Each structure stands twice: as C-alpha cells, then as structure tokens.
A and B are shown apart, each in its own frame.
Chain A
Amino acid sequence: MAKPVTPPPGRSSQSPNETPLVELKNIWKVFAGVPVLKGINLNLMPGEIHALLGGNGSGKSTTMKILSGLYVPERGEIFLGGEQKVFHSPNEAHKNGIYMVPQEPHIFPHLSVEENLLLGLDMDPRAARAQVKQLAKEIGFESSFSEEAGALSIANQQLLEIIRGLLRKAQILILDEPTSALTFREVENLFKRMRTLSQRGIGIFFISHRLNEVMTISHRISVLREGRIVLAEPTTEVNSEKLVRAMLPADAEMRDMKRKMRDSHDQITDEVVLAVKKLSSDAFQDVSFEVRAGEVVGLAGLVGAGRTEVAEAVVGLDPNARGDVIIKGKDTKKHDSRKSQSLGLVYVPEDRHAHGIFLELPSLYTMTATILDRLGRFLLSRKQEEAVGNDYRQQLSIKMSSLHQIAKTLSGGNQQKVVLAKALASKPDVIILDEPTRGVDASARQDVYHLIEQLAGQGVGILLISSELEEIVDLSDRILVMYQGRIIKETERTGASLQQVMAAAFGLQGEASL
C-alpha cells in the first residue's frame, strides 16, 4: 500500500477565514451530450493555494475554464466577493481579477517578449512598461524583452503568463498543471514565486496530478472524480493515501482483485518478443530493454521524461531515432509503424483524441482502421467488418447503442476501449499501451486492467506506460523508470515499492523522501 509520499512541509501560517475571493455553486457542464461537471461546489480564500487533484477527465480543467470565462456552464452560479457573475469570455474574467495560466502557455511565438506581455493590455504603454519591469524583477523573470517568445523555455513562458495575469491585477490565479514540463529546479523556483504571491493575498488554484507537489505547496486540497468533488480538506488533514483513495474509486477491492490475478499467472516465457538496443533520439538517449512473451513491463516516469517518445520510436513513428529495434527476432532497420504492425507490434497512443480515435465517424470505423486490408478482397465486406466490431464490443464490453454510433458521443472509457479494439484487431504479439487509463472512468479502468491480464495470459508481451505509479506497480512484472530521457532504474516487481518508483521518477535514487 502506498505510504504518504512526503510529509506536509511548513507553510505560511495564515488561516483563511475571511469571505472567499470566489465561490462556485452547483456548476454543470455538458460536452457533445456528455455531462463532464455534475454540480461542482468550490471556493478560494485570499492568499490561499487551493490544489485541485484528479485524473484526466475528472473535470478539474473544465471547472477552471469555466471560472476563467472560456466555457459558459449550463447551470450554476459563480459568486465573486459575494456578487453573482457569469463570465462569457476570458476578457470578462480578467476584468474581474481572474487569470488562468494554461498548461501550454499561450504565447505569440513570433512576437517579442515585451509585446507578448503588453498586447491586449488596456493601459498606458509607458506605465505598463514600467510595471512589467517591476513585476519581472519580483517574479525573477530574467529573459531579454526583445527576444522572440517562441525561443523561451517552457518555464519562462509560464512566468511570462503569470506576469500577464499580474499586469491585469489578478486576485485569483489559476495554474493548470504548471509543473508538468518543468525540471526539478524550475519547479522549486515556481513554488517560491507562488508563496510570494500567496503572501500578497492572491488566491491560487493549483491543478496538478503530482501528490508530493500538492502536499508541498497547497493549503487546501479538493479532489475531483467524474465531474464531482469527492474530497475537500485542508492539506494538513490529509495524506497521500487518503488522496489516492479518493481519486480511485473502490480502491481496495480493485487492488486485491488485481493482486490475485497477477499472482495467478506465471506464464512469462523466455521468448523475447521485443528487444530495444541503444535507441536514441532527440528526447531520449541509450534506451535498451526487452519484453518477453506474456510479460507486462511497466515504463514509469514523469510526463516529459521521454516515455511516449521512446514508444513512438520503437514502433517506427520517429524518423530521427537511431538504434536497434528487434521484433520477434527480426531486426527492423528503418522500419515504419506499418511494418511494425505486420511483424506483430502495435501502439496505443497516449493522446486518444489526437492520435487514436476518429471522433466524427462511426465507432466501428476506428475499430477496424488497422485491418481494412483483411476485410474482403476488393470491396469491403460489411459483414466481416461488423463481425470484428461485435467481437471486440463483446470482449471489451463496450457500451454503445450500435457499432455505428459516432465515436464522439461515447464516454471516455468506451472511446478508449474502441481504440484498444483497433490495436487488438490486428492480433499483435507485442503491444505498447501508453496511458491506457487516462480520462477513463472507474469501471472501464477495471476492464482495461482485466484486458492487460488477459492479453498477458495469452502470451502477448506488453509495454505499459503510465503516469499512475500505482497502476505500474500493481500490474507490471518488471518496471523501468525513465528520468530526463534515460532509463535510470529497472526493477522486478517484488522489489518495487511505490515510493521507490516515485523517487526514481523524480530523479532521486534510494529511499530519500522528496
């Protein structure tokens, strides 16, 4: 069982008991016919750092987008200093002192840093320039103002965004997963800035999926799951175990079940179905590992550690990769993903919407996209296609009104299953699953775990990439941990504790706590 990753550190001592800066009441939001927020209640005190936790698709980003005027909720009220407001645009939110720093900073890459800061600002340019200088100094932003913003590091782009917010006199800052692309040192630096702002009375919503960061920086934590708030407590009252339990529904039973299943199978053979030797590309160096038939190899690491890049290179989607990839004993010099598929290796991509699914088309079209050449000779056989679709619909228990239901209207979990069906349809011997449970509801998550068991049982080799360390620890026979483009740890499952893997993912060896 996961122990608390870190002890809560010392924080500023203020106790928030004034009126909240902002209060959200019973917020509902629907996308493409699917409700994603189901009555959210949330508030933020002056000077408070309020962390929002939850898996992808839990609704935390959507909630913040509503607060910052990007989305208009179907139902619910927002009270700002006791006054009811509706924001129809970011502009209105800005005017009310709310500023969101998005996950990917919205910079103008071809314009100068100065213009990036000043454009759109309703201020006398000279006064604004003076203020920018002042703020840049306070925040510790050290880049040249005449540089093109596209050349800034992500960390500096984020600082640029924070300055933009402060220039707009924001009292409420929203930081949406600001640390996901930062180095360790940059994260520390960011936290220092956040504390300064907090002492000035600015309230901060801090979205993250990293427990230790949340425990370090926040005063209060709210956990979202499937569009609802399932936990809201001061940081001192919670530990990471409690948070994990809140995020994962039916936690205990699920784990027990998985454990049982994992223990029951020992069908790992000696046959190496995938061997990667000294693979390098821009985002990673010297990556070597093997996957045997029937084995689940977990690949852990933080977002940005290079996991997805490795997967894409292995499957043949990165033309710049150098090194050897051997699929079932066949060396694949200069292979592409088509060749990989024909040799028995398929990849289920991390970004389902961008790379996995055809949202606007019938679900069946996604399910059979990789095997159209097997369905009929010249003309596509509708009968054969639907037979394949029905097979996987049953096997993966996909909930859909018909095989021809437009994929966009399926729930996240069922969309993921449709994508899995697409990969499985080609009957692979090795499969790379990249974040297979991201944005997936609890029951679908279980189904995915089940499927991994089942495939391993059938002798399929699996490389499982996931940010959820529990998932990796529980499902894998062997675990690789990546940090900044290298595999820095490899361990058998029996020797792996969550804490060790987490520490390695953060580039720390041994038992050192973060």
Chain B
Amino acid sequence: MKAQAIKWIKTWEFGLAVLLVLEILVLGAINPTFLNLENLLYSTSDFTHILLAALPLTLIIITAGIDISGVSIMGLASITLGLTWVAGVNIFIALFIALGVGILAGMFNGAFVASTDVNPLVITLGSLFMFAGIAMGLPGLLDALGFKAYGAAGFAAYMYEGISGLPHNFNQIAHGGIGWVPYPLLIVLIFAAFLGIILHKTRFGRYLYLIGVNADAARYSNVPVKSTLVTVYALSGLGAALAGVVLTSYFTSARSDLGKEALLTIITVVVLGGADIYGGKGTIVGTLLAGFFIGFLRQGLLAMGVTSDVVPVVVGGLLVVVVALKLFITTYNQRRLNQQALRISEERR
C-alpha cells in the first residue's frame, strides 16, 4: 500500500498537481481576488481553447506523431460556422457542420500520415497553410460558387471583419454556465473524460501506445495502424474545431484567423503534461493539469503587470527547459539503474 503511494507520488502528474496548487497559492498571495473560486473558474474561459486542442494532440504525440495544423482548423471551423449561419442555416446545425469540417480536415492529415512515410510535422505544416488559406478564401469561394448569403452583399463582405451578431444562445456557450462552472470548462472536462476513457480504457487507446513505442512491432502484431492513425488525427481535428467554436462564442464573432497564435502554447501544454515527442508516453490528466498551469501562469503574469508580449517568451522558454530537464532526468535515472544492477550482480558473484 505504501509502495503504491510512493509510486504514485513519483509520477509526473502528481508533480504537476503540486505545481498547480503552488502556482494558485503564489498568485493568490500576490492578488487575493485570484483565490475567489468563482473568479478562478470563470477565468479558465480564456484558455479553454488551448486545452480543447491540446487534449487530442496528446493522443497523436503518443503515437510519435504531431499535428500543428490544429490552429488553422480552429479558424476554418469558426468561419465555416459563421458562413453557414449567414447562409441561413440554424446556428446549432451550423455548429455541427463546423465540427464535421474539423473532423474531415483531421482525417485528411491522418490519411496522409498513414499512407506515406513523410514526417507528420511536414504534412501538417502543409495543411496548416492549406487550411488557413482555405479559411481565408472560403467567403470569396462561396460567392464564386453562387451561394447566397442572407441579408448582406455576398459572403466576401465578412472576409476581414468576421461575422458578428451571432444569436444570443450561441454566445452563451462561452459566457454561460451551470452555477460556478462555465460551459467551456464543462466542455473541456467532458471532452477530457471522453478522451481519457478512450486512451486508457479501450483497445484503440492501447493501439496508440503500441504504435508510438514501436510502429513496426505494432504492424507485426496485426494492429490496424492505418485506421488508428486516421482516427486519432480526426479526433485532433474535432478538438481543434471544438476550440474554434468555443472561441467564436467567446469573441461573439466568427473569424478565419481565430486561434492563430495558440500553436506554441498548445504544444508546450502537451509536452509539459508529460507526453514524449518520441512517442509512447503521455496521459490525459497530465495534459489537463499542464493546461491549467500554463493558463493560470499567463493570467498571473498579466496580473503582475507583465505585458502580453512577454508571455510567448516565457512559454517558449518553458517548453525548452521542460524538455531539456526531462532528458536530463531520464539519463540520470538510467545511469543510476545501471549502477544498481552492477552492484547487485557483483554481490551475487
């Protein structure tokens, strides 16, 4: 029992949880209003989109892949939602169409990754551009294809300033809540629970680890590698689209460039959460905790009077430091383990 507890304390996730609590306490000491639970919960709405994208990305990184196109899918989903609505479709149907577009975009990435040996970074780099470009060009394209926007002078009118005036109940998605729990946080928690079950309790989740640790052995073990990859990238597309929808509601405006700046933060969250860029390691809880940590960190920095320009410097620095630190710990542990084994086998002799 005690050994179990020690093992648990030694986990990365536990360390993160401690770090998160410390962070909240420190920020609270600087500014007591921070400790107000309602404030704290509602302030998460500033960064739920990061988590919505980072959570499924964790699954991809476990397969030793990566998807950097999510930030473009956010904008694509947002503009799809807005344009569909302007075309006269009910906003909630438009919402599902936007999510569908996100899934399709993810499947495109997944199919490309699964059917070639090209580095996923390069593939999603290409699609990062392509999706962002499509999101930008979509209004004009719809006009050119002869679709009719309702009320306005064509879809192109929304190209730069976005689509605002969305229905009130849609805007409630980001601004409403149940009691003290805002809807976006609820969406994050439900999505995290869903992904957590998928990752840790289903054979699909197991396949992700198997592929990430040894894709060849997975193939030799008859793991359906291709369909698993397509599915996991589709999930990432879904997460990014969800983030796009929540952001749209948060800003009460659908824009094609929403979420553009989030890439660095998203990847930092996943890596800080314990996922290994070389595959095979990572948990949903870790990413969730890391997401809150970085989200609050950003707010704390801003509250302390640091300008928002400094934030990417801190986040970028954090990313590098965390990875370097993890590498160091691994090497150190390995060396210690070897010394231990040496002692034991020499004694036995």
Q: With CB as the reference atom, state the residue of chain B lying closest to A35.
A: B345
The answer to whether B339 touches A74 (Cβ under 8 A) is: yes
Cβ–Cβ < 8 Å partners of A373 in chain B: 203
The answer to whether A359 touches B222 (Cβ under 8 A) is: no
For the complex formed, measure the closest distance between the CB of A340 and the CB atoms of chain B, giving whole angstroms.
8
List A31-88 residues whose CB lies under 8 Å from chain B.
31-35, 38-39, 74-75
Q: A360-B213, A360-B280, A379-B197 are in contact. Are A30 and B341 (CB under 8 A)?
A: yes
Q: A361-B210, A365-B206 are in contact. Are A32 and B334 (CB under 8 A)?
A: yes
A375 within 8 A of B: yes
The answer to whether A33 touches B340 (Cβ under 8 A) is: yes
Q: With CB as the reference atom, state the residue of chain A lying closest to B197.
A: A379
The answer to whether B224 touches A338 (Cβ under 8 A) is: yes
B216 within 8 A of A: yes
Among the listed B217, B224, B337, B338, which residue makes an inter-chain contact with A355, where contact means beta carbons less than 8 Å apart? B217
List A375-423 residues whose CB lies under 8 Å from chain B.
375, 378-380, 422
Contact with A along B333-348 (1 / 0, CB 8 A): 0100111111001100
Q: With CB as the reference atom, state the residue of chain B lying closest to A348.
A: B220
Cβ–Cβ < 8 Å partners of A294 in chain B: none
Q: A356-B217, A356-B220, A358-B210 are in contact. Are A28 and B342 (CB under 8 A)?
A: yes
B132 within 8 A of A: no
Q: Determine the distance from Cα of A125 to Cα of B222 in the docked complex, in whole angstroms.
A: 52
Among the listed B201, B213, B280, B340, which residue makes an inter-chain contact with A380, where contact means beta carbons less than 8 Å apart? B201
B202 within 8 A of A: yes
Among the listed A357, A375, A422, which residue makes an inter-chain contact with B203, where contact means beta carbons less than 8 Å apart? A375
Q: Determine the distance from Cα of A447 to Cα of B122 in the docked complex, in whole angstroms.
A: 47
The answer to whether A365 touches B209 (Cβ under 8 A) is: yes
Q: Determine the distance from Cα of A16 to Cα of B336 in the docked complex, in whole angstroms.
A: 42
For the complex formed, measure the closest distance between the CB of B162 and the CB atoms of chain A, giving whole angstroms.
41
The answer to whether B213 touches A355 (Cβ under 8 A) is: no
Q: For the complex, count residues of B whose C-beta is within 8 A of A.
A: 31
Q: For the complex, count residues of A whose C-beta is within 8 A of B.
A: 36
List B297-335 residues whose CB lies under 8 Å from chain A.
334
Q: With CB as the reference atom, state the residue of chain A lying closest to B217.
A: A355
Q: Determine the distance from Cα of A132 to Cα of B43 in the docked complex, in whole angstroms.
A: 70
Q: A32-B338, A33-B338 are in contact. Are A357 and B349 (CB under 8 A)?
A: no
Contact with B along A343-385 (1 / 0, CB 8 A): 0000101000011111111000110011011010011100000
Q: Determine the distance from Cα of A28 to Cα of B347 in the docked complex, in whole angstroms.
A: 13
Query: For chain B, what secondary structure do more than half of its interface residues adopt (helix, strand, loop), or is it mixed?
Result: helix
The answer to whether A338 touches B222 (Cβ under 8 A) is: yes
A158 within 8 A of B: no
Which of B214, B340, B349 has its CB near the most chain A CB atoms (within 10 A)?
B214
Among the listed A38, A75, A369, which residue makes an inter-chain contact with B218, where contact means beta carbons less than 8 Å apart? A369
For the complex formed, measure the closest distance between the CB of A39 and the CB atoms of chain B, giving whole angstroms.
8
Q: With CB as the reference atom, state the residue of chain B lying closest to A339.
A: B222
Q: Determine the distance from Cα of A349 to Cα of B334 in the docked complex, in whole angstroms.
A: 28
Q: A380-B203, A422-B221 are in contact. Are A30 and B216 (CB under 8 A)?
A: no
The answer to whether A378 touches B221 (Cβ under 8 A) is: no
Cβ–Cβ < 8 Å partners of A349 in chain B: 220
A341 within 8 A of B: yes
The answer to whether B202 touches A359 (Cβ under 8 A) is: no
Cβ–Cβ < 8 Å partners of A359 in chain B: 213-214
A231 within 8 A of B: no
B207 within 8 A of A: yes
The answer to whether B337 touches A38 (Cβ under 8 A) is: no
Q: A357-B217, A358-B214 are in contact. Are A35 and B341 (CB under 8 A)?
A: yes
B275 within 8 A of A: no
B223 within 8 A of A: yes
Q: With CB as the reference atom, state the residue of chain B lying closest to A409.
A: B337
Cβ–Cβ < 8 Å partners of B341 in chain A: 30, 33-35
Cβ–Cβ < 8 Å partners of B213 in chain A: 358-361
Which of B218, B219, B342 has its CB near the most chain A CB atoms (within 10 A)?
B342
Cβ–Cβ < 8 Å partners of B280 in chain A: 360-361
Cβ–Cβ < 8 Å partners of B209 in chain A: 358, 361, 365
Cβ–Cβ < 8 Å partners of A152 in chain B: none
A337 within 8 A of B: yes
Among the listed A35, A337, A354, A375, which residue makes an inter-chain contact with B217, where contact means beta carbons less than 8 Å apart? A354
Cβ–Cβ < 8 Å partners of B346 in chain A: 28
Cβ–Cβ < 8 Å partners of B219 in chain A: 317, 337
Which residue numbers of A lie inside 8 Å of B, CB to CB? Answer: 28, 30-35, 38-39, 74-75, 317, 337-338, 341, 347, 349, 354-361, 365-366, 369-370, 372-373, 375, 378-380, 422
Nearest first, the 3 closest Cβ-Cβ pairs linking A and B are: A372-B203, A369-B221, A33-B341
A–B pairs, 27, beta carbons within 8 Å: A28-B346, A30-B339, A31-B338, A32-B337, A33-B337, A33-B338, A33-B341, A34-B341, A35-B341, A39-B349, A317-B219, A337-B219, A341-B222, A347-B220, A355-B217, A355-B220, A356-B220, A358-B214, A360-B280, A365-B210, A369-B206, A369-B223, A370-B221, A372-B203, A372-B206, A380-B201, A380-B203
Which residue numbers of B lie inside 8 Å of A, CB to CB? Answer: 197, 201-203, 206-207, 209-210, 213-214, 216-224, 280-281, 334, 337-342, 345-346, 349
A sample of 14 more A-B contacts (CB under 8 A), given A355-B214, A360-B213, A380-B203, is A28-B342, A30-B345, A35-B341, A74-B338, A337-B219, A337-B220, A354-B217, A356-B220, A357-B214, A361-B213, A366-B221, A369-B221, A370-B222, A380-B202
